[in-house]
Structure 1
Amino acid sequence: MPYRCLEWIHTTFAVMLLSFTLCLPCHPANADGLGVPTPNQFKLADGFEVDLIHEVSEGSWVSLTTDPQGRLIACDQYGGLFRIAIDDAGNANVEKLESQIQGAQGLLCAFGSLYANVNSDQIPAGVWRLTDTDGDDQYDKQEHLIELNAAGEHGPHALIVSPDGKRIVMCAGNNTHLPKQIDTSRVPRVWDEDHLLGRMPDARGHNANRLAPGGFIASFDPDGNNVELIATGFRNEYDIALNKDGELFAYDADMEWDVGTPWYRPTRINHVISGAEFGWRNGTGKWPAHYPDSFGAAVNIGPGSPTGICFGYDAKFPKKYQDALFICDWSYGNIHAVHLTEDGSTYGGTYETFATAAPLPVTDIVIRPNDGAMYFTIGGRRTQSGLYRITYTGDINEEEATGATDQGQALRELRQKLEALHVADAPANNLDFILDSLSHEDRAIRFAARIALEHVDVDQWRQRVSSIDSATARIHAVIALARHGEAADQATATKALTSIDWNELDSDQRIALLRAYGLVAMRLGQFNTDQRKTILAQLDNQFPTGDDSVDRELAQVLVYLESQTATGKIVSLMKSSPSQESQMHYAMTLRSASAGWNDKDRKTYFSWFAELQKSRGGMSFGGFIENIKNEALANVPGDIKAEIEAIIAESEKASAEPAPSRPLVKQWTVDELATLVSEHSDKPDFDRGKSVFAAATCYKCHRMGIEGGILGPDLTSAGGRFGVKDLLTSIINPSQVISDQYGATMFLTDDGEVVQGRVINMNEKNINVLTNMLDPSSLAVINRDSIEETRESKVSMMPSNLVDTFTAAEIADLIAYLRAGGRREHPIYKDAVAASNGN
């Protein structure tokens, strides 16, 4: 193909390097690329400025807090504590504190003490309290309050004061064991892996033996007593923060090696409600956000490495930013401002890039009440550390506070009333209230109600499950029963589900029903022959539904039930799915399928692996594909295994041959296509638009709905925000406007090499740069000392002219597909006239 993405990147990159090299001095007098980023290297939100307060020579700072005198306290990842006094002119006086504490990734001044959450092998890890007992302004008393294990970078993390001001809340990553003494737990203590078809560990062995509950959040009294578990199922939430309503938020990490797989979960803002489970599991086992027993994300952010977070309430910023949740992304060098909005009793929202530079390994962030400025540190992994300040220089007009809506407040109060029942052996006199709330339209309220039910002795309510009228309430009651019941409850739970009419359920209810079946089978016992027949009669003819989320779960249940008709349908859907994520999910589902195979489907299935190996993903992507193939091959009957192995070898040989090229149609211009697309009078073809989206490799970097990559912007809502000409401009001339969030940096090294890409990782003086968005594992390593100059790239990492091999009619269908947000039911497909509007 003359304009295939990868070839275009290589060609354009070579030209770009040449032109860039020619326009730079060989040895600039002041090399911006050395040391910490200078203020002129930052891009900031309008009206803000940044100052470098201190270039750190005292280690690599990873945590930050303010003390009652307005001084900052920081901790080196591999060393001790430092106190920083800042005068009115912004000068920093750094003092090393006399303390054995080091490696603290969480600091908090509260209750007359300094608390440190230590994650180090040099001293016992866990929560320490430091107190000045003699008034000399030094912490002379040190107490180890809570013992935790040091766990690399997934260990003990942040500390904050609880909403009532009486306790301390802490968080810890997924390699941290729960405290030895948990006095109370809002999370029912019945966590398990809960994978209907089993999971596969990470293909590179990472965390292969780390099981539920994963990362956690807990609270305790100022003296370290009365530890209460609040939430579990995180991967590695580094920091936590409270909004004005006392609601808790965390910024949880992704597993970047999983990029391109269906179990990859982007970094995300979690609203941490009482008793919540967020579904982190090792390897392929991450629970999807739509599971009813996993409480999803408030805002998905994308690839990154979450570190410090804080709300801007005490900042001398415009109201919009005072109310924002500021989050730090260590790997991509961003501080984002998240603008949360009420969504029933929980929250949704949007985010913008507030400050960025490259590299900017930002580690922690605070608002200093004394001057209303934002302070943040960069560092970690022995990288060069610095302390910065961001202030607002524009006029701050008094803005009316948006505040909470009456409806949102009422729903939160209802949820909190249920959360008050998240105590061991909750009284059964609240059962009617709890059971009624299981059918509430608000997901967070349903979740809180189920957790409340699970805290009531199961003997008090197991007999009521079958008589619940609401299908939604009955499903969630069965989930609770599966988690707390006994084998004797299996028949009751199964009958309660089989009596539900599938056709009367919406998407969320169907997913909940399927999850409930899985939990009953895993926890209460496998279905007998009669039960299996009854469930198959309810579900077998429903696949596929056309709803990708439902179909993924339905496929797993049907394979588990050994459906004779589902296997061929799943193979067909695997082949026809436009995104590699969906294809991989169905391949994973089929790896252990024992029923319904024929020769044609087996050949199609095993031939697929060679094709997918051409796709790109994170470091574990290829290993996962190989492991799925090997596990599937192990389940092939012995008498045909040699034949299947021959099919695999033949398909791998065929896949090694160059793919046929698409002929060049025309080097389209924006204006030319804008006219042709507007004049295209035929009714848009959804399937062809989706096919073009896939053929142009858009799915590799962009999401549409729940399908596609995450390295580029999510395009699901793009059609609602941009007209036809804007969409065409972004496709044909992507460098015309480059979002700060997806911009690249150009690095000139002292040997004349120029590298363009996005910084995604650092270690001491080595910087890892992603140079090819189509291959997330393609990294260039640059020694920081070799960098002569850095500058913002004016060339997008997205290839241009991607549609030059498509006809005007095909492009018109692509634009319609984008405008419809990938939804077949969008009005644009019902009204041909709508296709010509939007210019």
Structure 2
Amino acid sequence: MMRGARRAAVVAMMLLIAMTTPRGEQVRQGTAPSQPAAKAPQAPLPRLDRTTEIPLALFTVPEGFEVTLWAGADMVRNPTNIDVDRDGRIWVAEGVRYRKHHARQPAGDRIVVLEDTNGDGRADASHTFVQEPALVAPLGVAVIDNRIVVSQPPDLIVYTDVDRNQRFDPAVDRREVLLTGFQGINHDHSLHSVTVGPDGKWLFNSGNMGARFTDRSGRTFTSIGPYRADPIGPWTWPHDAAKWAGTRSDDGHVYVGGFMARMNPDGTQVEIIGHNFRNSYEQSITSLGDVFQSDNDDPPACRVSWVMEYANFGFASNDGQRTWQADRRPWQSVPMAEWRQDDPGSTPAGDIYGGGSPTGTAFYENGALGEAWRGTFFAAEPGRNAIFAYQPVRDGAGFRLERRDFLTSNREERYAGTDFSGGPGTTTAEIATLFRPSDIAVGADGALYVSDWIDPIVGFHEDLDDAVSGAIYRIAPKAFAARTPALDTASIDGLVSALRSPAVNVRAIGFEGLQARGAAVVPAVAALLDDSNVYIRSRALFLLYQLGPEGRAKAGAPDAYADASLRIAAYRAMRRAGEDITPIAARLARDTDAGVRRDVALSMRDRAAELALPILADVARRFDGLDRSYLEALGTGATHKEAALYDLLRREMGTGDPRAWSDAFAWIAWRLHPPTSVDAFARRAAAAALPIDARRRAMDALAFVHTRAAATEMVELAASEGPLKESATWWVLNRTSNDWADHDLLPTLKRRGIFDPDTVRLQSVIVPPRDTAVPVVSLADVTSRTGDPARGKDGFARCMMCHAMGGVGAEVGPALDGWTRGKSLPVIAAAIIDPDAGIAHGYAGTTIRTTDGLTIQGLLIKEGDPLMVRSMGNVTQVIPASRVKARERLTRSLMMDAAQLGMSAQDVADVIAFLKAH
């Protein structure tokens, strides 16, 4: 009897084992980190009321580098963003008035200029460029020659320092609001800094407070989603977000939430080049024209991404009305749901690294760090007290992003004062956790500069440092002697030197000065095409295409370059110069490189169908059936032409029975999903002979077609017995309140027995309480034993009623394939022994109390009306909102612990051995 009881206990335990993620585990794409273990009670941390400096000995950097203090708390106060000018000065945007401290400095926040006048490697002079009441914790400053661009919602402000004395005097200098209409005054999720690209265009971004603004060409752009927040302070938002969310912009496209824009320096010809972010703090553009950014999350799914042109990054629904939580499918992990990675039209997310609070970024191309660091993207992560380093590698149509720490004060990774470490209650006085890097810049001397906010807390729109401490550190080779080249901008050589600068916005001086001289500078610029540094060669390419016929002749056609990255750069340069790309696009659509073909597809987005379709078809024929970046580029290029492209390709790639489609065409059809594809997807979803993943993908495609026919086919799947029944039911109930709301599905759902709010029968399901009388299984006892995977398999066989492995089994809990990968034995064992110690985001339980006295505890898998709750025993119930009396979150895990389940230490070790083998 005991052996049978233990086997049953293992089965019950496995039902929910994957609903917990042990603490202390870092995550990769497709996984989610956990809440931390409960900590011992701490005395409340007093606010910091005196300036703080972080000992440099705490910092870890790669071998050969050193960290020095370039400016300390005596000169730097709450730095939100920095930039460098041609002479090596650092300009700082201050956030003394941040959030609830908006009245702390009535004269306004400042833009401050810091300088090392004696060349000893530390700033010794400081003065205010501008201070005014309108500045309330501005989140961006860019120095573009004598134009200082400040990102201060609702405005993007350009101060022109006419007399070039680095002090704004309204009697001499000019102040212009270049663009206005950005939501989020005194809010982190708003307008961020400007960066100049290799084409001379200005890039900026905004968080998901969103915006509605009119550019200097007279076109109005709207990008607003479901995120809402009340103003902190005596301000109002410029727009009613509920009114404008999901509105079509004047360019014919719908943008949602956070976005990135590209424009001419005078504010004309704005293009939205990426949208549906949560809160990307700053972008970095390379001289090849690639853009990288980090993006904040709803814990735990922060990411670092390559920004594919025009891409939808998936944080909110495409109509701007719903959060990702409202659309999270029951079978999705949190990161996959948060960035809508299973939705057609959402671009690959990049490196999803888990909890954090990402801020400023920089891309290093040349300078003092050396060739080994050429092509490195740096991302500040104050939540993790670190600067991340990535060296993006081209991978098909996208990039592979491998993360490592470049600079950290917290080698032990004992995080505090963050949402993923337990919130404000985890703030500590430990100095290692006070390093809060807000921005990074490559200096005009080629060194790396990092600004530090210094605070016990990050996020929560909160700060605890009443002394408004700050710092700027320099990271450079040991014994580095800073040298900022003097730029003679009156000469061609001086402008070429500016174009070669390590500092991205200093390069704009060279670009603009050389561009203004026209054909006369072509030989000097063309000489850079022979440089050993591919980034400098690319800077020359972009400029040559804007230097008239002589420059274009020197640059040559894109397909003349053996290096695919330069073929891409040259093609981008042609587009930015307004060249006719049709002939070259037709050739490059058949290029051997997937990245080249990707850019060709993207360039077709706003071109007429008669020109674009043959080119897109050539790109489609070369899809390998695997590369999601390539697929998304194809779909983006087909915007407003999806049905025509599908019909063209179906005649060639999708003939015959849809159940026999190739993987490549099945994916293309899923991405395009025009109304004419409904019948084919219905047949594929119902085809028992197809792999379950292919069937589910066909079902999901139906959910993104807004027609009654698609809704009808989904109802058929929900009414049929089979592995997709519950999933199809979820889709029907989700879509009845949004995309299918006009189809009046409720009578059909009642008639087919799928859902009738008037007759639905519910049952109580209560998670057994913890039994404190049962001895707790010892972690040491488990980890000292050798598990037997064969015995573990015996217990797992019946778990397949609730979990899938290898594509076989049910999906009550997440699939267990690879669940143990990367986790240590103690961490895995702790998740089984004490599941309350770490509940993964997205798997917290909910208690529903009904109007007729039932208690239903389980995993909430659908919000809204009706709710769906899945409980232990694979019981899924659909609960009309009218039946809900109360709802609250469980404070414990849904999973029973090992002691409750009657498991011995050996039982736990055996199950772990089986899981680790799979």
* TM-score > 0.5 by shorter chain: yes
Q: Deviation digits for residues 225-259 of structure 1, max 9, x if unmatched?
A: 11111111111111111346432112111124xxx
Query: 3-state SS of the aligned residue for 1:174?
Result: coil
The yes-or-no answer on 1:145 pairing with 2:178 is yes
Question: 1:689 touches 1:817 (CA, 8 Å); kept in 2?
Answer: no
Question: Which residue identity is paired with 1:80?
Answer: R
CA–CA distance in structure 2, aligned partners of residues 690 and 401 of structure 1: 55
Q: Which residue matches 2:206?
A: 172
The yes-or-no answer on 1:326 pairing with 2:384 is no
The yes-or-no answer on 1:527 pairing with 2:709 is yes
Query: 3-state SS of the aligned residue for 1:514?
Result: helix
Query: 3-state SS of the aligned residue for 1:306?
Result: coil
Question: Which residue identity is paired with 2:282?
Answer: D
The verdict on how the C-alpha distance between 1:665 and 1:192 changes in structure 2, with shifts beyond 3 A counting, is closer
The yes-or-no answer on 1:344 pairing with 2:465 is no
Q: Which residue matches 1:793?
A: none
Question: Which residue identity is paired with 2:908?
Answer: I
Q: Which residue matches 1:676?
A: 786
Question: 1:85 touches 1:93 (CA, 8 Å); kept in 2?
Answer: yes
Tell me the CA shift for residue 270 of structure 1. Answer: 2.2
Q: Which residue matches 2:583?
A: none
Tell me the CA shift for residue 74 of structure 1. Answer: 0.9
The verdict on how the C-alpha distance between 1:81 and 1:137 changes in structure 2, with shifts beyond 3 A counting, is closer
CA–CA distance in structure 2, aligned partners of residues 88 and 320 of structure 1: 26
The verdict on how the C-alpha distance between 1:302 and 1:460 changes in structure 2, with shifts beyond 3 A counting, is closer
The yes-or-no answer on 1:359 pairing with 2:359 is no
Tell me the CA shift for residue 309 of structure 1. Answer: 1.4
TM-score (norm 2): 0.55
CA–CA distance in structure 2, aligned partners of residues 142 and 50 of structure 1: 37
Question: 1:105 touches 1:117 (CA, 8 Å); kept in 2?
Answer: yes
Question: 1:666 touches 1:805 (CA, 8 Å); kept in 2?
Answer: no
Q: Which residue matches 1:432?
A: 617
Tell me the CA shift for residue 518 of structure 1. Answer: 1.6
Q: Which residue matches 2:111?
A: 81
Question: Which residue identity is paired with 2:700?
Answer: R
CA–CA distance in structure 2, aligned partners of residues 469 and 184 of structure 1: 43
The yes-or-no answer on 1:467 pairing with 2:690 is no
Tell me the CA shift for residue 446 of structure 1. Answer: 1.3
Tell me the CA shift for residue 412 of structure 1. Answer: 1.1
Question: Which residue identity is paired with 2:472?
Answer: Y
The yes-or-no answer on 1:636 pairing with 2:666 is no
CA–CA distance in structure 2, aligned partners of residues 89 and 190 of structure 1: 45
The verdict on how the C-alpha distance between 1:239 and 1:247 changes in structure 2, with shifts beyond 3 A counting, is same
CA–CA distance in structure 1, aligned partners of residues 680 and 222 of structure 2: 22
Q: 1:159 aligns with which of 191, 194, 214?
A: 194
Q: Which residue matches 1:71?
A: 89
Question: 1:689 touches 1:815 (CA, 8 Å); kept in 2?
Answer: no
Question: 1:312 touches 1:322 (CA, 8 Å); kept in 2?
Answer: yes
CA–CA distance in structure 1, aligned partners of residues 451 and 310 of structure 2: 31
Q: Which residue matches 1:412?
A: 595
Q: Which residue matches 1:90?
A: 122
CA–CA distance in structure 2, aligned partners of residues 133 and 363 of structure 1: 30
Question: Which residue identity is paired with 1:493?
Answer: S
CA–CA distance in structure 2, aligned partners of residues 174 and 143 of structure 1: 25
Question: Which residue identity is paired with 2:123?
Answer: N
Query: 3-state SS of the aligned residue for 1:430?
Result: helix
The verdict on how the C-alpha distance between 1:297 and 1:725 changes in structure 2, with shifts beyond 3 A counting, is same
CA–CA distance in structure 2, aligned partners of residues 84 and 807 of structure 1: 64
Q: Deviation digits for residues 779-836 of structure 1, max 9, x if unmatched?
A: xxxxxxxxxxxxxxxxxxxxx999997424432344235525xxxxx4xxxxxxxxxx
Q: Deviation digits for residues 519-554 of structure 1, max 9, x if unmatched?
A: 22x2xx2128xx836x66678768437xxxxx9854
Over the matched positions of the two proteins, sequence identity in percent amounts to 17
Q: Which residue matches 2:345?
A: 293
Q: Deviation digits for residues 697-731 of structure 1, max 9, x if unmatched?
A: xxxxxxxx9978xxxxx998685557868977999
CA–CA distance in structure 1, aligned partners of residues 60 and 131 of structure 2: 37
Q: Which residue matches 1:544?
A: 723
Q: 2:679 aligns with which of 492, 495, 499?
A: 495
The yes-or-no answer on 1:302 pairing with 2:354 is yes
Superposed, 1:480-519 pairs within 5 Å as 490=675, 492-498=676-682, 500=684, 502=687, 509-510=694-695, 512-519=697-704
Q: Which residue matches 1:556?
A: 730
Q: Deviation digits for residues 567-624 of structure 1, max 9, x if unmatched?
A: xxxxxxxxxxxxxxxxxxxxxx99x9757669xxx9xxxxxxxxxxxxxxxxxxxxxx
Query: 3-state SS of the aligned residue for 2:401?
Result: strand
Query: 3-state SS of the aligned residue for 2:704?
Result: helix
The verdict on how the C-alpha distance between 1:447 and 1:13 changes in structure 2, with shifts beyond 3 A counting, is closer
The verdict on how the C-alpha distance between 1:816 and 1:181 changes in structure 2, with shifts beyond 3 A counting, is farther
Query: 3-state SS of the aligned residue for 1:128?
Result: strand
Question: Which residue identity is paired with 1:636?
Answer: P
The verdict on how the C-alpha distance between 1:508 and 1:288 changes in structure 2, with shifts beyond 3 A counting, is farther
Q: Which residue matches 2:162?
A: 133
Q: Which residue matches 2:884?
A: none
Superposed, 1:378-457 pairs within 5 Å as 378=453, 383=465, 384-391=468-475, 410-425=593-608, 427-428=611-612, 429-436=614-621, 440-454=625-639, 456=641
Question: 1:129 touches 1:143 (CA, 8 Å); kept in 2?
Answer: yes
CA–CA distance in structure 1, aligned partners of residues 715 and 62 of structure 2: 59
The verdict on how the C-alpha distance between 1:367 and 1:693 changes in structure 2, with shifts beyond 3 A counting, is farther
The verdict on how the C-alpha distance between 1:13 and 1:280 changes in structure 2, with shifts beyond 3 A counting, is closer
Superposed, 1:200-279 pairs within 5 Å as 211-212=245-246, 213-243=256-286, 245-256=288-299, 266-279=301-314
CA–CA distance in structure 2, aligned partners of residues 105 and 432 of structure 1: 43
Query: 3-state SS of the aligned residue for 1:44?
Result: coil
CA–CA distance in structure 1, aligned partners of residues 243 and 729 of structure 2: 27
Superposed, 1:670-709 pairs within 5 Å as 673-677=783-787, 683=793, 685-686=795-796
Question: 2:440 touches 2:451 (CA, 8 Å); kept in 1?
Answer: yes
The verdict on how the C-alpha distance between 1:707 and 1:378 changes in structure 2, with shifts beyond 3 A counting, is farther
The verdict on how the C-alpha distance between 1:425 and 1:814 changes in structure 2, with shifts beyond 3 A counting, is same
Q: Aligned pair count?
A: 614
The verdict on how the C-alpha distance between 1:318 and 1:595 changes in structure 2, with shifts beyond 3 A counting, is farther
Higher relative contact order (CA 8 A, sep 6+): 2
Query: 3-state SS of the aligned residue for 1:532?
Result: helix
The verdict on how the C-alpha distance between 1:355 and 1:813 changes in structure 2, with shifts beyond 3 A counting, is same
CA–CA distance in structure 1, aligned partners of residues 752 and 788 of structure 2: 48
Tell me the CA shift for residue 166 of structure 1. Answer: 1.5
Give the aligned CA root-mean-square deviation in angstroms: 5.5
CA–CA distance in structure 2, aligned partners of residues 424 and 190 of structure 1: 22
Please, which moves more after superposition, 225-234 or 329-338? 329-338
Q: Deviation digits for residues 460-495 of structure 1, max 9, x if unmatched?
A: 657536535344666666667667xxxxxx4x3323
The verdict on how the C-alpha distance between 1:215 and 1:707 changes in structure 2, with shifts beyond 3 A counting, is farther
Q: Deviation digits for residues 725-782 of structure 1, max 9, x if unmatched?
A: 8977999999xxxxxxxxxxxxxxxxxxxxxxxxxxxxxxxxxxxxxxxx9999xxxx
CA–CA distance in structure 1, aligned partners of residues 616 and 62 of structure 2: 53
The verdict on how the C-alpha distance between 1:810 and 1:207 changes in structure 2, with shifts beyond 3 A counting, is farther
Tell me the CA shift for residue 438 of structure 1. Answer: 6.3
Q: Which residue matches 2:913?
A: 816
Q: Deviation digits for residues 281-308 of structure 1, max 9, x if unmatched?
A: 2432456212121113110021222211
Query: 3-state SS of the aligned residue for 1:516?
Result: helix
Query: 3-state SS of the aligned residue for 1:241?
Result: strand
Tell me the CA shift for residue 94 of structure 1. Answer: 1.6
The verdict on how the C-alpha distance between 1:715 and 1:161 changes in structure 2, with shifts beyond 3 A counting, is farther
The yes-or-no answer on 1:38 pairing with 2:54 is yes
